[in-house]
């Protein structure tokens, strides 16, 4: 039995497998990832264990489980390396699901199993220099030429962008005035028409963040993922999965930061007693626990709604993202404070978690933009 009503025994088994893998394989590699090493081997190992895309059917390389399993894996991996969790959730919860649900059969056949097993990497290429929050204004174009599409444009901040074998690219296929109604998605294989360059970022090092340029990339009709001019709907569907997973990354980061600070407060002494005996620090830790348990329930509930095909899912996906990311930022801040100078040093894991936490408030939609969406949902519901 799970102690959380949204989860069953099978989810706790998934957690056990993910946690064992994280402790055995990810914890020892986390420093190297933070130093910039893209975790390609670990993605493959996750794929072999069925941890990369657990919610995808086994015949397509997944584990035939559900979305809650995906969320539990992401939480456990994030405790060890938020960077690996970030790459894995894009590949597992967004790209694999997208190929499974929307790709044309021959493309799905060719790519999905390798993606779900971590043998091939596919990046999600939506944001551009002109526009991240205002994604309906993107400028990358796909123009029809005979029976083919020619794609031109620049994408920015693309996770796994440096190393991907293919890109799921959002491109304009109609007049810009139509905004989200003239955007389509294409699977574009890496070739000489694609130029990538690294972008230095504050945290989630090792995720291969890149600028990706598409110069006259030619793809066939079969590369279209979802219907023509309906790509934005697919993106929103992807992002609901992704945002729930970002909530789980935030949860994992907060749990890891709490564990570090709690252990440190017991062994470090000041004024002749352990830090843990100062009531103010006890309150910091108790508050972090209070918030973590509340957020955990929302993240698991979002995943439960997704599995139940409940209409509350889109709203709860946004709640999970906002709450999980805030939790990560606040808990790592407090954990670092409890750990003083050592917490601030690059020797401590909390320093990495603090940097990684900030990204969760920005990627997959800045929290302010997500609050706009939440307000729109509220106006419809109230």
Ligand X SMILES: Cc1cc2nc3c(=O)[nH]c(=O)nc-3n(C[C@H](O)[C@H](O)[C@H](O)COP(=O)(O)OP(=O)(O)OC[C@H]3O[C@@H](n4cnc5c(N)ncnc54)[C@H](O)[C@@H]3O)c2cc1C
d(CA 6, CA 360): 24
Q: According to the binding rule CB under 6 A, does residue 252 interact with ligand X?
A: no
- Kindly give the pairing relationship between strand 224-225 and strand 210-220: unpaired
Please name the residue ranges forming H helices in the chain: 9-21, 30-34, 40-48, 67-80, 82-89, 97-102, 105-116, 231-267, 279-307, 313-344, 349-360, 367-381
Shorter beta-carbon distance to ligand X: residue 259 or 374: 374
Q: According to the binding rule CB under 6 A, does residue 136 interact with ligand X?
A: no
Is 113 tagged catalytic? no
Q: According to the binding rule CB under 6 A, does residue 305 interact with ligand X?
A: no
What is the footprint of ligand X within residues 195-224 (CB under 6 A)? 201, 204, 209
| Token couple for 13 | 């088994």
Q: Is 143 helix (H, G, I), strand (E, B) or coil?
A: strand
Strand partners, 172: 141, 183
Q: Residue 89: name the closest of 368, 363, 382 by CA.
A: 363
Shorter beta-carbon distance to ligand X: residue 72 or 239: 239
Taking CB under 6 A as the binding criterion, the range among 41-49, 97-105, 120-128, 227-235 that sits at the site for ligand X is 120-128
What is the footprint of ligand X within residues 359-378 (CB under 6 A)? 359, 362-366, 368-369, 372
Q: According to the binding rule CB under 6 A, does residue 158 interact with ligand X?
A: yes
Shorter beta-carbon distance to ligand X: residue 154 or 366: 366
Provide the sign of the torsion angle of the four alpha carbons 231, 246, 323, 340, taken in this order.
negative
Tell which phi-psi region holds residue 10, choosing left (phi > 0), alpha (psi between -120 and 50) or beta: alpha
Shorter beta-carbon distance to ligand X: residue 113 or 364: 364
Taking CB under 6 A as the binding criterion, the range among 13-21, 144-152, 263-271, 357-365 that sits at the site for ligand X is 357-365
Among residues 157, 214, 300, 354, the one that binds ligand X under rule CB under 6 A: 157
When CB distances to ligand X are compared, the closest residue is 132
Among residues 37, 104, 133, 139, the one that binds ligand X under rule CB under 6 A: 133
- In whole angstroms, the minimum distance from the beta carbon of 315 to ligand X comes to 18
Among residues 126, 317, 329, 336, the one that binds ligand X under rule CB under 6 A: 126
Q: According to the binding rule CB under 6 A, does residue 139 interact with ligand X?
A: no
**Burial class of 379 by CB neighbour count within 10 A (0 to 12, 13 to 18, 19+):** exposed
> How far is residue 290 from each of residues 74, 206, 284, 297, measured CA to CA in Å?
21, 32, 10, 11
Among residues 82, 132, 242, 247, the one that binds ligand X under rule CB under 6 A: 132
Task: State the angle between helix axes of 9-21 and 67-80 in degrees (0 to 180), rounded to the nearest 10.
Answer: 30
Q: Which of 76, 230, 255, 364 is catalytic?
A: 364
d(CA 94, CA 51): 14
Q: According to the binding rule CB under 6 A, does residue 142 interact with ligand X?
A: no
| Token couple for 61 | 């390389």
What is the footprint of ligand X within residues 161-200 (CB under 6 A)? none
The residue ranges that bind ligand X (CB under 6 A) are: 90, 123-127, 132-133, 157-159, 201, 204, 209, 359, 362-366, 368-369, 372
**Which residues form the catalytic set?**
364
């Amino acid at each position: 039995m799970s102690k959380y009503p949204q989860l069953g025994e099978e989810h706790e088994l998934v957690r056990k497998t993910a946690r064992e893998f994280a402790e055995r394989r990810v914890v020892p590699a986390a420093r190297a990832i933070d130093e910039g090493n893209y975790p390609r081997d670990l993605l493959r190992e996750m794929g072999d264990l069925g941890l990369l895309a657990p919610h995808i059917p086994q015949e397509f390389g997944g584990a035939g489980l559900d979305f809650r399993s995906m969320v539990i894996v992401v939480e456990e991996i994030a405790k060890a390396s938020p960077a690996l969790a970030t790459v894995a959730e894009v590949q597992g919860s967004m790209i694999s699901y997208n190929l499974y649900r929307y790709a044309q059969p021959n493309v799905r056949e060719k790519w999905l199993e390798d993606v779900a097993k971590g043998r091939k990497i596919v990046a999600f290429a939506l944001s551009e220099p002109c526009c991240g929050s205002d994604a309906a204004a993107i400028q990358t174009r796909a123009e029809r030429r005979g029976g083919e599409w020619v794609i031109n444009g620049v994408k920015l901040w693309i996770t796994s962008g440096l190393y991907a074998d293919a890109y799921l690219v959002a491109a304009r296929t109609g007049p810009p005035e139509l905004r989200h109604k003239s955007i389509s998605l294409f699977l574009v294989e890496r070739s000489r028409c694609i130029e990538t360059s690294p972008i230095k970022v504050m945290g989630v090092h090792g995720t291969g963040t890149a600028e990706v340029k598409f110069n006259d990339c030619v793809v066939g009709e079969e590369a279209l993922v979802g219907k023509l001019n309906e790509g934005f709907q697919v993106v929103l569907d992807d992002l609901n999965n992704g945002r729930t997973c970002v909530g789980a990354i935030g949860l994992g980061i907060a749990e890891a930061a709490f564990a570090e600070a709690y252990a440190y407060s017991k062994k470090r002494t000041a004024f002749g007693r352990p830090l843990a005996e100062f009531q103010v620090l006890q309150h910091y830790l108790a508050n972090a626990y209070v918030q973590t348990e509340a957020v955990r329930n929302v993240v698991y509930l979002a995943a439960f709604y997704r599995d139940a095909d409940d209409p509350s899912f889109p709203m709860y996906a946004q709640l999970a993202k906002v709450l999980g990311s805030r939790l990560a930022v606040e808990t790592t801040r407090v954990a670092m404070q409890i750990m003083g100078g050592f917490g601030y040093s690059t020797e401590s894991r909390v320093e990495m978690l603090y940097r990684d936490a900030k990204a969760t408030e920005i990627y997959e939609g800045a929290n302010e933009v997500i609050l706009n969406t939440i307000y729109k949902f509220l106006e419809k519901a109230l």
